[in-house]
Amino acid sequence: MNETLKTIDDRKSLRGYDSREISSEHKKWILHSAFRAPTAGNMMLYSIIEVADQKMKDKLVKTCDNQPFIAKAPLVLLFLSDMQRWYDLFEYSSVPDLCKERSIEYVTPKESDLLLASCDALIAAQNAVIAAESLGIGSCYIGDIMENIEIHREMFNLPKWVFPIALLCFGYPRRDDRDDREKTPRFPEHLVYFKNKYIRTDGKEFESTLMAQTRDKEAIFKKAKNIGQFIYLRKTGADFTTEMRRSVKVAITDWIE
Ligand SMILES: Cc1cc2nc3c(=O)[nH]c(=O)nc-3n(C[C@H](O)[C@H](O)[C@H](O)COP(=O)(O)O)c2cc1C
């Protein structure tokens, strides 16, 4: 295994951080690595906001489903799917007039643009994660940034064609807090990697895979009849997911309007 593969293999999400600031040299490399990520058509359909203000971090704890470690992260980066920059250029460049002259439709951003911009933003984010890891800096994604769109728009001054797709917390590990944690398991390869055609996963097999990976089996049967029911209640059907669905629907509706 080379160093890059080892960095990828060893990575675990880090949710408790040393109070040390991220050095400016390390921050520079994290951002540089994000910017070097592949980007659709080389259009860089994303932006990054560093959340430096402690009051804003404190607020994110609440608006991102009560996750206190966000407030303690020395570096918090918000990754935005961003079509606004291009559409501001198109307006500035009189593209609507051009389209009129040539009798072609002037198309504003649609669902596909949101997905493409989100690909760009997330690929940049993951480059930042791996760069940080290689520098001994841990990280954790916060998907809950997709909740509470109205509050996040206001907080970060986000226009209509900018969507907050991921928040990343970074920090050096506390010296006593890292190596003894086991890596979280992943599904066996045959469930997620196919040749030529998609293969649906048999429910029974998936259930036994999940059960084999679960340490606290008692917790499941306290809350539900099986692990599928348990995970539905904890994740897919939970309040935070309901809020995410509402919030993302508002954002997409506004985006494609
Ligand atoms: C899109 C995305 C959203 C996530 N959101 C959260 C989150 O809101 N809070 C959190 O503690 N971890 C979050 N995580 C981290 C995952 O829980 C973590 O990656 C997963 O449990 C696997 O653990 P590992 O990263 O240590 O291998 C998120 C990860 C991803 C990729």
Q: Is the pLDDT of residue 181 over 90?
A: no
Q: Is the pLDDT of residue 120 over 70?
A: yes
Q: How far is the CA of 121 from the centre of ligand 1 (A)?
A: 16
Q: Is the pLDDT of residue 180 over 80?
A: no
Tell me the per-residue pLDDT of 221-249, one tens digit each, with 9 for 90 and over: 999 999 999 999 999 999 999 999 999 99
What pLDDT does residue 39 have? 98
Kindly state the average pLDDT of the residues 66-76. Answer: 98
Q: Is the pLDDT of residue 81 over 80?
A: yes
Q: Is the pLDDT of residue 37 over 60?
A: yes
Q: Is the pLDDT of residue 12 over 70?
A: yes
Q: How far is the CA of 145 from the centre of ligand 1 (A)?
A: 12
Give the closest residue (by CA) to ligand 1 atom 8.
142
Query: Is residue 46 left, alpha or beta, with left meaning phi > 0 and alpha meaning psi from -120 to 50?
Result: beta
Q: Which residues line ligand 1 (CB under 6 A)?
A: 12-13, 15, 67, 140-144, 184
What pLDDT does residue 243 have? 98
Q: How far is the CA of 87 from the centre of ligand 1 (A)?
A: 32
The percentage of the chain sitting over the pLDDT mark of 70, rounded to a whole number, equals 98
Q: Give the pTM.
A: 0.97
User: Which class for 203: exposed (0-12), middle (13-18), buried (19 or more C-beta within 10 A)?
Assistant: exposed
Q: Is the pLDDT of residue 124 over 80?
A: yes
- For the chain, list the domains and their CATH numbers: 3-184 (3.40.109.10)
Rounded Cα gap, residues 51 and 129, in angstroms: 16
Give the number of the atom of ligand 1 that is nearest the alpha carbon of residue 69: 11
Give the closest residue (by CA) to ligand 1 atom 25.
13
Q: How far is the CA of 13 from the centre of ligand 1 (A)?
A: 7
Q: Is the pLDDT of residue 176 over 80?
A: no
User: Tokens 């206001």 appear where?
Assistant: 154
Q: Is the pLDDT of residue 178 over 60?
A: no
Q: Is the pLDDT of residue 175 over 90?
A: no
Q: Which residues pair with 121 in a beta bridge?
A: none
Confidence of residue 59 (pLDDT cuts 50, 70, 90): very high
Indicate the SS3 state at residue 54: helix
**Alpha carbons within 13 A on the beta-carbon side of 177:** 14
Q: How far is the CA of 167 from the centre of ligand 1 (A)?
A: 11
Q: Choose one of 12, 62, 140, 186 to mutate for the ligand 1 pocket test, by most ligand atoms within 8 angstroms of C-beta.
A: 140
Rounded Cα gap, residues 15 and 138, in angstroms: 8
Average pLDDT, the chain: 97
Give me 6's structure tokens.
């080892």
What pLDDT does residue 179 have? 60
What pLDDT does residue 177 have? 64
| Cα end-to-end distance, the chain, whole Å | 49
Q: How far is the CA of 144 from the centre of ligand 1 (A)?
A: 10
Q: Choose one of 142, 181, 186, 187 to mutate for the ligand 1 pocket test, by most ligand atoms within 8 angstroms of C-beta.
A: 142
Q: How far is the CA of 140 from the centre of ligand 1 (A)?
A: 6
Q: Is the pLDDT of residue 86 over 60?
A: yes
Give the closest residue (by CA) to ligand 1 atom 21.
184
